[in-house]
Amino acid sequence: MTQLSLACVASASTRAQDGLKRLRLQHDFVPPEQADVIVALGGDGFMLDSLHRYMSAQRPIYGMNLGTVGFLMNSFNEFTLQTRVAAAKAERLSPLQVKATDINGKTHEALAFNEIAVLRHSNQSANLQISVDGKIRMDKLMSDGVLICTPAGSTAYNLSVHGPIIPIGADIVGLTPISPFRPRRWRGALLPYNSVVEITNLDPIKRPLAVSADSSEIRDAAHVRVSVDVSRSMTVLFDSGHSLEERIINEQFSA
């Protein structure tokens, strides 16, 4: 069997660095730009960082969990790496793109594979107007904020604020309120994948907002536009029989 050229990158944590040392005793690695596949050691946060870092290289990423939850990762094993990577199932993930205009009129852009979260940045609730594809759908949402998530990100922050779990391959995104005060019973919406969601801060000076896009943050947002960037994508590899799709289904039946 032809051997794949593998690169290996690791988070700064002690566990990940120890795992990297152990793998180097068993495997010969090449630089990421020369690899067929990049192996990422760490947790979900490091996987997201790796997706952003190596997007231009367009190399598939196979993660091994040496972090906490590891939802986007595979289990760690130093001896069977070549066999596992060769048999892994590929999932293609496209990111959300956010364009946020701040209170000074400056536009900021960022990408997120999990979610875009628009959050209050003061001790007062946010007052938000929500539009979808140019039509106002909610005149005023009083809440701690709102988030838009991909299917891959639906089991992350979205799930913790009681948003729906979205199957991989579903052409939809989730729009979920964060601690809604008015309307109190609104639980969010599922929207077509090609939707454009716009969020306007109705009181940007008194009630400032921050926009979180994976590990990026934009402060003092007055207007936020979010859509899926279908022109960009990354491939993530999962062990056979333990695909991302299977994990998302399992998550819906967990206690």
Catalytic residue positions, numbered: 44
Which pairing describes strands 126-132 and 115-120: parallel, antiparallel, or unpaired? unpaired
Alpha helices in 27-132 (DSSP H): 44-53, 81-87
Using alpha carbons only, give the angle 71, 248, 15 rounded to the nearest 5 degrees. Answer: 10
170 φ, ψ (degrees, to nearest 5)? -75, 130
Burial class of 157 by CB neighbour count within 10 A (0 to 12, 13 to 18, 19+): middle
Buried b (16+ CB within 10 A) or exposed e, 89-127: eebebbbbbbbbbbeeeeebebbbbbbbbbbbbeeebbb
Q: Which residues pair with 9 in a beta bridge?
A: 40
The residues with which 132 forms a beta bridge, in sequence order, are 135, 197
Question: In terms of Cα–Cα distance, which of 103, 109, 213, 105 is closest to 156?
Answer: 213
Query: Does residue 11 sit in helix, strand or coil?
Result: coil
